[in-house]
Amino acid sequence: MNLVNGRYEIDGVSVLDMCTEFGTPLYVYDSNVIEAQYNRLKQAFKDTDVKINYACKALTNINILKFLNSLGSGLDTVSIQEVQLGLKAGFRPEDIIFTPNGVSFEEIEMAVDFGVIVNVDNISVLEQFGAKYGSSYPVCVRMNPHIMAGGNAKISVGHIDSKFGISIYQIKLLERVIKNYDIRVTGLHMHTGSDILDIDVFLRGADVLLESAESFPNLEFVDFGSGFKVKYSPSDNTTDVELLGKKLTKRIKEFSKTYGRELHIMFEPGKFLVSESGYLFVKTNVIKQTMSTVFAGVDSGQNHLIRPMMYDAYHHITNISNPKGTNRIYSVVGYICETDTFGWDRKLNEVHEGDILALHNAGAYGYSMSSNYNSRYRPAEVMVYKGKPYLIRRRENMEDLLSTQQMVNWEF
Ligand SMILES: *Cc1c(COP(=O)(O)O)cnc(C)c1O
Task: Calculate what percentage of the chain has a pLDDT beyond 70.
Answer: 97
Catalytic sites, residue numbers: 337
Residue 107 CA, distance from chain mean position: 22
| 68 within 8 A of 38, measured Cβ to Cβ | yes
Residue nearest (by alpha carbon) to ligand 1 atom 3: 55
Whole-number pLDDT of residue 302: 98
The tens digit of pLDDT for each residue in 229-271 reads 888 888 888 889 999 999 999 999 999 999 998 899 999 999 9
pTM: 0.95
- Which whole number is the average pLDDT over 292-298? 97
Give, for ligand 1, the residue of 73, 190, 194 to mutate: max count of ligand atoms closer than 8 Å to Cβ: 194
Whole-number pLDDT of residue 151: 54
Whole-number pLDDT of residue 52: 98
Q: How far apart are alpha carbons 305 and 370 in whole angstroms?
A: 6
Amino acid at 330: Y
User: What is the CB-side half-sphere exposure of residue 43 using CA atoms within 13 A?
Assistant: 8
Q: Give distance in angstroms: CA of 226 to centre of ligand 1.
A: 6
pLDDT bin (cut points 50, 70, 90) of residue 157 is low
CATH of domain 60-269: 3.20.20.10
Whole-number pLDDT of residue 279: 98
Q: Does pLDDT of 155 surpass 80?
A: no
Give, for ligand 1, the residue of 117, 268, 274, 361 to mutate: max count of ligand atoms closer than 8 Å to Cβ: 268
pLDDT bin (cut points 50, 70, 90) of residue 152 is low
Q: Give distance in angstroms: CA of 191 to centre of ligand 1.
A: 7
Pocket of ligand 1 (CB under 6 A): 55, 57-58, 76, 78, 99, 191, 194, 225-227, 268-272, 364
Whole-number pLDDT of residue 386: 98
Q: Give distance in angstroms: CA of 58 to centre of ligand 1.
A: 8
Helix, strand, coil shares of the chain, percent, nearest 5, are: 35, 25, 40
Which is higher by pLDDT, 297 or 161? 297
Residue nearest (by alpha carbon) to ligand 1 atom 4: 270
Whole-number pLDDT of residue 148: 63
What count of other Cβ atoms lies within 10 Å of the Cβ of residue 126? Answer: 20
CATH of domain 2-28+275-402: 2.40.37.10
Residue in 135, 125, 82 with CA at minimum distance from that of residue 104: 125
What is the average pLDDT value for the chain, to the nearest integer?
94
The tens digit of pLDDT for each residue in 345-364 reads 999 999 999 999 999 999 99
Q: Give distance in angstroms: CA of 85 to centre of ligand 1.
A: 17
At 154 the three-state DSSP class reads: helix
Which is higher by pLDDT, 333 or 205? 333
Whole-number pLDDT of residue 159: 66
pLDDT bin (cut points 50, 70, 90) of residue 154 is low
The tens digit of pLDDT for each residue in 103-134 reads 999 999 999 999 999 999 999 999 999 999 99
The tens digit of pLDDT for each residue in 365-392 reads 999 999 999 999 999 999 999 999 999 9
Whole-number pLDDT of residue 164: 86
> What DSSP string runs through 341-390?
EEEEEEEEE---TT-EEEESS-TTTTGGG---GGGPPPPEEEEEETTEEE
Whole-number pLDDT of residue 231: 87
Q: Give the DSSP letter of residue 68.
A: H
Q: Which residues of 286-307 are buried (b: 16+ CB within 10 A; e: fewer)?
A: ebeeeeeeebbbbbbbbbbbbb
Q: Does pLDDT of 149 surpass 90?
A: no
Q: At what angle do helices 105-114 and 80-88 cross, to 10 degrees?
A: 20
Q: How far apart are alpha carbons 51 and 95 in whole angstroms?
A: 9
Which residue blocks in 72-168 are alpha helix, DSSP H?
A: 80-88, 105-114, 123-133
Residue nearest (by alpha carbon) to ligand 1 atom 15: 78
Whole-number pLDDT of residue 403: 97
Which is higher by pLDDT, 41 or 238? 41
Atom of ligand 1 nearest to the CA of 228: 9
The ranges assigned to domains in the chain are: 2-28+275-402, 60-269
* Largest interatomic CA distance in the chain: 76
Whole-number pLDDT of residue 192: 79
Atom of ligand 1 nearest to the CA of 195: 7
Q: Which residues of 345-375 are buried (b: 16+ CB within 10 A; e: fewer)?
A: ebebbebeeebbbbbbbbbbbbbebbeeeee
Q: Does pLDDT of 150 surpass 60?
A: no
CA of 297: how far to CAs of 256, 301, 354, in Å? 56, 9, 10
